[in-house]
Amino acid sequence: MINIKINNKEYSFEEGLTILEACHKVNIDIPTLCHYKDLVQSGNCRVCLVEVKNNRNYVTACNNKIYEGMEIFTNTLEIIEARKKSLELIISNHSLECLNCSSNQNCELQALTKKLNVTERYHGQKTETTIDDLSGILTRDTSKCILCGRCIEMCKKVQGIGILDFENRGLKTIVAPVANKSFKDVPCTYCGQCTKVCPTGALTVKENIRDLLVALKEGKHVVVQTAPAIRAALGEEFDYPIGTNVEGKMVSALKQIGFSKVYDVNFGADLTIMEEATEFIERYTKKENLPMITSCCPGWINYAENYYPDLLNHLSTCKSPHMMEGAIIKSYYAEINNINKEDIVVVSIMPCSAKKEEKDRNDNDVDIVLTTVELANLIKLFGINFKDLEDEKFDNDLLGDFSGAGVIFGTTGGVMEAALRTAYYSLTNQEYEKISFENVRGSEGIKEASLNINGNEVNVAVVHSLSNASKVLDEIRNGTSKYDFIEVMACPLGCINGAGQPKITSSKLETKEKDNILFNTYKRAKALYDEDKKMNIRQSHNNPQIKELYSKYLQYPHSPKAHELLHTSYSKKDKKII
């Protein structure tokens, strides 16, 4: 243990902690801006300055470690003024267009300016502004960038891609793809994780609320479907604790907005499992194109098409759940209700920015994609008092039943667990007794499990974040992979941490929790597992409306009709970073 003093009080800490981490452990908050746990500890912003006895200069708390006998002062007048001056220099090069910024009131720079009572700013030459919104998915505005480097490190370290970096020098420095190209001209996966860590509005997910308002005004038959991860995060936009399941109030709000039908994408998830489990069994039996890799995540699909096109035959051909459900709404649902499919507008509420790009892949199954944050903004726009709403249930006429297997799609490991429940039954004609597959749960980057089915050992892996995906993909390339079935999610922790979800920043956490943002994010997963546990039906193949859909319309999994509506194909992309 190391003995130090903080503000004249004695403390003992384990070796290896930074000053910032030590202070957090004893509930002393130090302001930060560029710092992000396990991503950036550069001290570039110089907002986390502290005084250390016998040091000539102030030191940054985020990247300086404690040592025996260290004496630290965090709240002297001189330190407070030094932090304010650092912040004043940062905002001198900032656009300060807060009122029309999508990050207004959810901006770390704005919050810190208020916290440190910064009322003055320096005036001088500003960085030339570049606004890139050509992709239609992500927007980059250099006038709001504080050069913290978080997005660069997220793209490079966590996602293993590295399409962002510092460009130019001095006052001309910006963050951009090479040669200041647009996102649409480089092999971006649109995972949007760069927007999750951006402390300002420099990188954002593009909004499509107006498209929905136009559809409602035109009197279209507008059907909405919500992904499983939404219910576990939406409440945070209305001051509920992280991981609160607000499904009932969410459904109530959607019905007040005026949607013709409100459905759960969990039905589409159950449908996906029926197709995907059948596909896996066929491949496993024939020993063809193994390991099979899931296809629910469009960020992962973009990554495979750009960086591993030689392995595309390993991907499941299944569309993702909301695309499958959209296809069924515009075919089976339209026929049953005698509605022209051209008059139907399908809206998907998704936790993911890449879903906005995915909707343009196949046959207009889905027309509009809104994120969790956009849904929250829509609810506020309609003047709905969310906390006062009575809980309501999803519509249950044709696509309303769903299983616990569909619910857990929202977190890493959920797709694999759901598929194994059905694959086990299909191969043995018996339900898996334990139901839950604990080995594929948790926050580890790569999780492994094996299951004995009829004397055969089925080896599976669950992977989240694209840098981890590259490890298992390289094994497939090298012919050393031991797996039969792999789930890949582009975002760390899966959909619960998608770019469309509310940001969990250190400023929103209690001081002692500030160093573990991902741990707090994973609280959303518990809400989904808890819902699965409460369900009467926990396997996709036991969903009565899924059975009815196959009986009356699709015939059987992997039928010609199912292939026409529910499956897709992939192709190599030609975009390059340089």
pLDDT tens per residue, range 351-384: 999 999 999 887 789 999 999 999 999 999 999 9
pLDDT for the residue numbered 92: 85
> C-alpha angle 128/129/135, rounded to 5°?
145
E strand segments, 97-176:
131-132, 138-141, 165-167, 174-176
User: What is the chain's mean pLDDT, rounded?
Assistant: 93
Sign of CA dihedral 51, 56, 58, 59: negative
Place of tokens 């002393």: 28
pLDDT tens per residue across span 262-299: 999 999 999 999 999 999 999 999 999 999 999 999 99
Q: Using omega within 30 degrees of 0 as the cis cutoff, is the peptide bond preceding 309 cis?
A: no
Residues 93 and 186: beta-carbon distance below 8 Å: no
Residue 304, phi then psi, degrees to nearest 5 = -60, -45
- Residue 42's contacts (CB-CB under 8 Å, 6 or more residues apart) are 34, 35, 62, 63, 149
Which positions ≥6 away from 189 have C-beta within 8 Å?
A: 159, 161, 299, 300, 302, 303, 306, 354, 466, 490
pLDDT for 438 equals 85
Q: How many CB atoms lie within 10 A of CB 421?
A: 27
pLDDT band at 577 (very low <50, low <70, confident <90, very high): low
Does the structure show a pLDDT above 80 at 410?
yes
Which letter does DSSP use for residue 207 in this model?
Answer: P
- In 3D, which of 225, 218, 213 has the Cα closest to residue 329? 225
For CA atoms 454, 475, 291, 300, the dihedral sign is: positive
The answer to whether domain 210-566 has CATH 3.40.50.1100 is no
Q: Is the pLDDT of residue 238 over 80?
A: yes
Alpha helices in 166-312 (DSSP H): 193-197, 209-217, 247-257, 266-286, 298-307
Q: For position 437, what pLDDT does the model report?
A: 85
H and E: helices and strands count for the chain: 20, 18
Q: Which amino acid is at 542?
A: N
Task: Give the strand pairing for 49-52 and 71-73.
Answer: antiparallel
How much is the pTM? 0.94
Does residue 12 have a pLDDT over 70? yes
Give the CATH architecture of domain 2-91: Roll (3.10)
The sign of the dihedral angle between the CA atoms of 510, 515, 519, 524 is: positive
Pairing of strands 221-226, 261-264: parallel
The whole-number pLDDT of residue 44 equals: 84
Residue 575 has pLDDT above 90, yes or no: no
| Residue 132 backbone dihedrals phi, psi, to 5 degrees | -115, 110
Extract the tokens encoding 441.
Answer: 């749960």
Residue 523 CB burial class (10 angstroms; 0-12, 13-18, ≥19) = middle
Residue 519: what pLDDT?
Answer: 87
Q: Rounded to an integer, what distance in angstroms lies between the CA atom of residue 566 and that of residue 575?
A: 27
Question: Which segment of 85-94, 123-132, 463-472 scores lowest on mean pLDDT?
Answer: 123-132
Please report the pLDDT score of residue 454 as a whole number.
85
For 327-337, the pLDDT digits (tens) are: 999 999 999 99
pLDDT band, very low/low/confident/very high, at 42 (cuts 50, 70, 90): confident
Stretch 520-539: mean pLDDT? 92
What's the rounded Cα separation, in Å, for the pair 415 and 275? 12
Phi, psi of 546 (to 5 degrees): -65, -45
Taking only the tens place, the pLDDT of each residue in 173-216 is 999 998 899 999 999 999 999 999 999 999 999 999 999 999 99
| Cβ proximity of 224 and 378 under 8 Å | no
Residues making up the chain, counted from first to last: 578
pLDDT of residue 501 exceeding 90, the answer is: yes
Give pLDDT, residue 106.
87
Share of the chain above pLDDT 90, in %: 79
Give pLDDT tens digits for 448-494. Answer: 999 888 888 999 999 999 999 999 999 999 999 999 999 999 999 99
CA distance 514 to 506: 5
For the segment 140-169, the average pLDDT, to the nearest whole number, is 94
- Residue 240, class by beta-carbon neighbours within 10 Å (0-12 exposed, 13-18 middle, 19+ buried)? middle
Question: In this structure, are residues 118 and 11 in contact, taking their beta carbons and an 8 Å threshold?
Answer: no
- pLDDT reading at 578 higher than 70: no
Task: Give the per-residue pLDDT at 460.
Answer: 96
Give me the CATH code for the 98-205 domain, please.
Answer: 3.30.70.20
Q: Give helix 414-428 / helix 266-286 axis angle, nearest 10°.
A: 60
- The pLDDT of residue 234: 98
Q: Vertex 453, ends 452 and 454: CA angle to 5°? A: 115
- List the beta strands (DSSP E) in 9-60: 9-13, 49-52, 59-60
In the predicted model, is pLDDT for residue 99 greater than 70? yes
Predicted local confidence at residue 120, as pLDDT: 74
Which of 544, 501, 219 has its CA nearest to residue 370? 501
Ranges of each domain in the chain: 2-91, 98-205, 210-566
Residue 415 is given by DSSP the state H
d(CA 96, CA 108): 13
Q: How far apart are CA 563 and CA 317, in angstroms?
A: 9
